[in-house]
Amino acid sequence: MDLLEHQARELFADHGIEVPRAEITDSPKEARGIARRLGGRVVVKAQVKTGGRGKAGGVELAADPAAAELTARRILGMDIKGHRVDTVMLAEPVDIESEFYVSYVLDRADGRFLAIASAEGGTEIEEVAAARPEAVARIPVDPAEGVTTVVAARIADAAGLPPQTVDTLVRLWQVLTREDALLVEVNPLVRTRQGRILALDGKVTLDDNARFRQARWGDQEPPRGDPLEAAAAARGLNYVKLDGEVGVIGNGAGLVMSTLDVVAGCGARPANFLDIGGGASAQVMADGLSVVLSDPAVKSVFVNVFGGITACDAVADGIVRALETVHLTKPLVVRLDGNNAVRGRAVLDARAHPLVQQATTMDGAARRAADLAHAG
Ligand code: GDP
Ligand code: MN
């Protein structure tokens, strides 16, 4: 989950990173009062989950409370790269001497984190990185070691940041690890004319897999953007929406992954990933089927089960009972193999649902499901 700037800022402050005083509002009238409290002059900033707000006119200096109200009125409701501005943050203006860029991001390919830093931060960082990559330092961070003072000094040195930023670099790493973030970015991190180091903008992406232990975000927006994924998540299902037309349900992530490959190998495209897990109860099968069938792109469904601790006859019972609650509108191809496969197939044969077919091999079932999808 991506956080808004003011939420990121709150995390920074909690970990001792200095940020300008600021407040948020959705009302221009209130903006005027906030500006008065902050000393009159304020920076009015759109709160949207996208960068480049400055260039889009979503960050503006207001000279006094009346101007703050007008500016807030203009920015609220604005569209920035498809994001509507519902909230603005008003921040005490800062006397900037230099702007730096710093971030930590998970590098999955490398199995480590990457510190990215530059002495040329600010709104032009993308252009700097493209034109002069040497101006942007990229230093791998060993997750077990983390960013100690020594590592932070190395990052600052490589990027040409002043030594005063070392403390912030260490604290920013604490934000990343203690808050379970996959990305923390400060652009700009500034040095003021008085020599203070402040985070003027922040971007934080939290790891959704850690939401259960980060209680403060519990009542935030649903974790997924896609409505089918949201519906699946609400039922506790491990579902990922894809672009194809063959719905896929399997037990075990590895089996489902290879099922996607086999479906693709038959010239069809999987519509989703859905792992109903080892203990596939009738309820889970019913929930899974109803989510997959509610995807209008789905033309056929391939249920691929390898019976293990939960044997095939139990899964077949689950399918039969699921058919009592789910109105099947599209053909279902079931492949049961493994523990009690013969008994499981007999259970489905006995049910004899006109839209349910069985196949004995994974390849055969995938081909059937692909053909049915093309025919439908
Ligand atoms: P972004 O465009 O979405 O990254 O928004 P930022 O919050 O980074 O703001 C863009 C630019 O506005 C920054 O790089 C600064 O140059 C400037 N800016 C933001 N806040 C202040 C402030 O408090 N004082 C001054 N002087 N400039 C600011
Ligand atoms: Mn920024």
Q: How confident is the model at residue 132 (pLDDT cuts 50, 70, 90)?
A: very high
Say if residues 294 and 259 touch (Cβ distance below 8 Å).
no
The answer to whether 185 is a known catalytic residue is yes
Amino acid at 15: H
Atom of ligand 1 nearest to the CA of 187: 8
Q: Whose CA is nearest to atom 2 of ligand 1?
A: 54
Say if residues 273 and 311 touch (Cβ distance below 8 Å).
no
Q: How far is the CA of 332 from the centre of ligand 2 (A)?
A: 50
Top pLDDT among 133 and 309 is at: 133
Q: How far is CA 135 from CA 83, 117, 160, 172, 351, in A?
A: 31, 9, 9, 21, 68
Q: Is 50 in the pocket of ligand 1 (CB under 6 A)?
A: no
Q: Is 308 annotated as a binding-site member?
A: yes
Mean pLDDT, residues 303-313 taken together: 90
Q: How far is the CA of 68 from the centre of ligand 1 (A)?
A: 16
pLDDT for residue 323? 92
Secondary structure (H, E, C), 20-34: CCEEEECCHHHHHHH
Phi then psi dihedrals of residue 314, to 5 deg: -65, -40
Looking at the chain, list the stretches that DSSP marks H as alpha helix, in order from N- to C-terminal side.
5-14, 28-37, 65-75, 125-131, 149-159, 166-178, 227-234, 253-265, 282-293, 312-325, 341-351, 362-375
**Is the model's pLDDT at 219 over the cut of 80?**
no
| ∠ Cα 101 102 108 (to 5°) | 130
Q: Which ligand does the CA of 45 lie closest to?
A: 1
Enumerate the β-bridge partners of residue 100. 189
Catalytic residue among 92, 101, 239, 245: 101
Domains of the chain, each with CATH number or no CATH: 21-91 (3.30.1490.20), 96-213 (3.30.470.20), 227-375 (3.40.50.261)
Mean pLDDT, residues 219-224 taken together: 58
- What is d(CA 285, CA 279) in angstroms, rounded to the nearest whole number? 10
Which of these, 359, 336, 242, 339, lies nearest to 285 by C-alpha position? 336
Give the distance, in angstroms, between the CA of residue 346 and the centroid of all CA atoms in the same chain.
43
Q: Is 43 in the pocket of ligand 1 (CB under 6 A)?
A: yes
Say if residues 279 and 252 touch (Cβ distance below 8 Å).
no
Q: How confident is the model at residue 23 (pLDDT cuts 50, 70, 90)?
A: very high
- What is d(CA 100, CA 198) in angstroms, rounded to the nearest whole number? 10
Tokens 């989510």 sit on residue: 291
Q: Is 52 in the pocket of ligand 1 (CB under 6 A)?
A: yes
Q: Is 200 in the pocket of ligand 1 (CB under 6 A)?
A: yes
Phi then psi dihedrals of residue 49, to 5 deg: -90, 60
Q: Whose CA is nearest to atom 12 of ligand 1?
A: 54
pLDDT for residue 239? 96
The answer to whether 101 is a known catalytic residue is yes
Q: Is 187 annotated as a binding-site member?
A: yes
Say if residues 104 and 176 touch (Cβ distance below 8 Å).
yes
Instruction: Indicate the range of 142-151, 220-229, 298-307 predicted with least confidence.
Output: 220-229
Q: How far is the CA of 120 from the centre of ligand 1 (A)?
A: 14
pLDDT for residue 216? 84
Say if residues 247 and 328 touch (Cβ distance below 8 Å).
no
Q: Which long-range contacts (CB under 8 A, 24 or more apart) does 221-226 make?
A: 221/1, 223/1
Q: How far is the CA of 55 from the centre of ligand 2 (A)?
A: 10
**Is the model's pLDDT at 122 over the cut of 70?**
yes
Name the DSSP class of 270: B
pLDDT tens for 36-63 read: 999 999 999 999 999 999 999 999 999 9
Say if residues 312 and 305 touch (Cβ distance below 8 Å).
yes
Q: Which ligand does the CA of 88 lie closest to?
A: 1
Q: How confident is the model at residue 308 (pLDDT cuts 50, 70, 90)?
A: confident
Whole-model pTM: value is 0.72
Atom of ligand 1 nearest to the CA of 201: 7
Q: Which ligand does the CA of 192 lie closest to?
A: 1
- Kind of pairing between the strands at 246-250 and 300-307: parallel
Q: Whose CA is nearest to atom 10 of ligand 1?
A: 54
**Is the model's pLDDT at 146 over the cut of 90?**
yes
- What is d(CA 256, CA 251) in angstroms, rounded to the nearest whole number? 7
Catalytic residue among 69, 185, 229, 245: 185
Q: 230 in helix, strand or coil?
A: helix
Q: Is 201 annotated as a binding-site member?
A: yes
Q: How far is the CA of 335 from the centre of ligand 1 (A)?
A: 58
Q: How far is CA 259 from CA 194, 248, 285, 306, in A?
A: 61, 8, 17, 11
Q: How far is the CA of 312 from the centre of ligand 1 (A)?
A: 60
Q: Whose CA is nearest to atom 15 of ligand 1?
A: 122
Q: Is 213 annotated as a binding-site member?
A: no
Q: How far is CA 282 from CA 240, 276, 286, in A?
A: 21, 11, 6
Enumerate the β-bridge partners of residue 306. 337
Helix H or strand E segment including 79: strand 79-80
Phi then psi dihedrals of residue 158, to 5 deg: -65, -35
Terminal C-alpha separation, the chain:
37
Q: Is 53 annotated as a binding-site member?
A: yes
Instruction: Give the mean pLDDT of the chain.
Output: 94
pLDDT for residue 280? 66
pLDDT for residue 250? 95
Q: How confident is the model at residue 295 (pLDDT cuts 50, 70, 90)?
A: very high
Q: Is 238 annotated as a binding-site member?
A: no
Name the DSSP class of 162: -
Q: How confident is the model at residue 218 (pLDDT cuts 50, 70, 90)?
A: confident
Mean pLDDT, residues 133-150 taken together: 97
pLDDT for residue 221? 59
Tokens of 305: 């089960």
